[in-house]
Each structure stands twice: as C-alpha cells, then as structure tokens.
Amino acid sequence: MTGSTLTILLSFGTGILSLVGLMSIFISMNSQHNVQRSREILWTLAALPYERNLFHEKGSIGKEVFRHFIIYEQIINQKHGFSKIIIQFAQYALGFCILIWTTMGFSLMFSERPLFEKIFIFSGWLLTVSFTLYFILKIFEELKSTSKVGRLPAVEEIVDADRVNSGISVVTLAAISSCIRMVDSRVYLGFPLPFKNLRINLSFFDSKEGGLPDIGSRLTFKECMESYTPLDPEKFEILEDDYCWYLIKILDHHKNGHKDSLITLEVLSLQGLVTVEFYIEEFSGQKNTSLNIYPYSFEERFINRVSTLDPFSINQIKSSTEVKEEVNSCLN
C-alpha cells in the first residue's frame, strides 16, 4: 500500500473521529438536562421531611412523594430515540475507524521496516483498538441510560428502604407519607408507593400492647429487624384510591370502640428507625364506618447516612472493628 493511500485512509479516519466528537457533544448536552433534573428531584425528596408546616395539609405529603417519584421514574426511564440513533451511528463510525486503523497497521507491519518499529506499530494499534472498543461497548452503551450517565440510583433502588447509599431516606419518606385507614373493624396501613424492605410495628397506646420498645443499643436494633413485621410490596390492596394498603389489624368492637386514641407507627429498615404518631379523636369500629388518619409528627432514630459525620454510621464502624478485634484475639 502506497504512502498516498495511507494518507487518504488517515484523513478518512480523522474526519470520522471529528464527526464522532461533535456527536458526543450533542449527546452530552442532551442528557445533561435530564441528569440535573433528576438530581434536583432527589434533593427535593431528601429535604421534604424537614420542611416547615409539613403536616399542615393532611394527605398532601403522600401526593408530593408520589409526584416526585413518578417524575423521577419518567425521566430515568425516558426513551431517547433520536439520541440512541446518534449513539449507534457513533459506534458504527468508530467501528469503521478500527477497520481503517487495522488496514493501515497491517500494511505498515508487512512493509520493510526494523523489528522494533513493527513492535511499536503493533503496540500502538492494539492500545488504540482496545480504547476504542471500550468506548463502543462501555461508554456509549452507558450514554443510553440517564441513571448511568449521572450515576443516579435506578427506580428500583430509590424505593428500596434497605439501600443506605441511595441519597435519600426512603424509610423517612415512607413514614411521613403513610396513612392509617380504619374501615369497619379493619385497620389498614397505606403508602403512596410500594416501598421495599419496610418493617413496621403498630402500637395502640390505649390497648394492652403497650408503647415504644426500648431501642438503646445496636444489638436491640438488630433484634427489632427480626421482630418487626415485614411488608411485602407486592401484597397490597387498593381501597377507593391509588394508595398501597396493607391490612394490619382487626379491631374488637367492644374493646376498641373508643373516643381518643394515640397510634404509634414504627417504620424500620437498614436505613434506620422512624416513628410517626397518629391521633384518633373518635372511632366506633361499627359497620359501614371509615376513617382516614394522617400523622402529625415524626422522629428519626438510628438513621444511617453512610457519612463520617453520622453518629450511627460511626457506631457501626466501631462495632464492626471491635468484633474483628475480639475474633482476632480469640484466634491468637
């Protein structure tokens, strides 16, 4: 292959790479807006439990949580048809560049050249092709997903209350957006979304069940993880609205027909423990009666934020270190 032919092939490859660079800029600008919007939604959800007058409008918290989660889902799962066509075109263009480089490389290697030059040409060709294939198979494939581009949690991850590194406290959002519905003698617990890995404990302060458990140590926290009732996100009911309702308790008309009652709901996950309180002014528990009760306060305890400033995270690290030291001392 003559030098002029190699020059023409090189100009072809240079032109194609310039075009791919322009397409990459278009793809980045097109996905950056979605990434920024998704991050703003996560920040809003993270700050929502700490807004002033949070429980002022009954039922509005659940609507806000539902709305933000749905918008996030739509952005993350949005089908970017035109962007995917551009990405595929860029992948094909880079594949054509690999073909050009392979032709030029083998042409130079089979020419009359010193051995060290041939080794240098082959090493350069192998390194270039490897990087290009990485971009084709890895980088450009990730550009098709907004969550991978922005390193954002997927939809399944932001409803999982056991994922500590999701960026938001799912267990807190589930607790403050919860609702208790009393239909006849049945007590339902509702959430705006089918949150995963939630464990709950419901206490009637005027009944024999008592109040809050004494959670004073990490060991007790682990015991509560086993003793609390887990909620299956797939086994919920629909009752006149789009909430996820779980049947928690069946009341006794004679024992639970009261006027004033305080209900405490403890929501537990690996992210921590959140307690919310509900106040019932009057409920007879008789037939054809229905009552919706929304929380009026909440308290976070043992919230694990995976931070060097978070006391619970520091305590977990210390506890795990102490356990390792005890095991090592026993072995020695």
**3-class secondary structure, 264:** strand
DSSP assigned state of 237: B
Residues 127 and 204 occupy one common structural domain:
no
pLDDT of the residue at 192: 92
Residues 144 and 268 occupy one common structural domain:
no
In a domain, 131, yes or no: yes
Residues 303 and 234 occupy one common structural domain:
yes
In a domain, 207, yes or no: yes
| Boundary of a domain, candidates 109, 127, 149 | 149
pLDDT reading at 331 higher than 50: no
Instruction: Give how far Cα 167 sits from Cα of 130, 140, 175, Å.
Output: 35, 26, 17
pLDDT, tens only, 71-85:
998 888 876 667 778
Residues 204 and 246 occupy one common structural domain:
yes
In a domain, 255, yes or no: yes
Q: Domain count of the chain?
A: 2
pLDDT of the residue at 325: 54
Residue closest to 38 by CA, chosen among 213, 157, 139: 157
**What domain range includes position 258?**
180-314
Residues 203 and 283 occupy one common structural domain:
yes
CA angle, 287 then 291 then 294, to 5°: 155
In a domain, 192, yes or no: yes
Residues 13 and 72 occupy one common structural domain:
yes
* Residue scoring higher pLDDT (158 or 219): 158
pLDDT of the residue at 285: 56
Average pLDDT, integer, range 56-70: 88
Residues 205 and 139 occupy one common structural domain:
no
Residues 90 and 200 occupy one common structural domain:
no
In a domain, 119, yes or no: yes
Residues 141 and 206 occupy one common structural domain:
no
Q: What strand order describes the sheet that includes 290-293?
A: 244-250, 186-191, 179-183, 290-293
pLDDT of the residue at 4: 72
Residues 28 and 137 occupy one common structural domain:
yes
Residues 109 and 244 occupy one common structural domain:
no
Average pLDDT, integer, range 9-34: 77
| Boundary of a domain, candidates 128, 149, 170 | 149
In a domain, 254, yes or no: yes
pLDDT reading at 308 higher than 80: no
Alpha-carbon Rg for the chain, nearest whole angstrom, is 30
Q: Is 146 exposed, middle or buried (0-12, 13-18, 19+ CB in 10 A)?
A: buried
In a domain, 213, yes or no: yes
* Residue scoring higher pLDDT (81 or 152): 152
- What average pLDDT does the chain have? 78
**3-class secondary structure, 66:** helix
pLDDT reading at 174 higher than 90: yes
pLDDT reading at 259 higher than 60: no
| Boundary of a domain, candidates 149, 171, 197 | 149
Residues 19 and 145 occupy one common structural domain:
yes
* Residue scoring higher pLDDT (111 or 285): 111
| Contact between 42 and 72 (Cβ < 8 Å) | yes
pLDDT of the residue at 204: 75
In a domain, 63, yes or no: yes
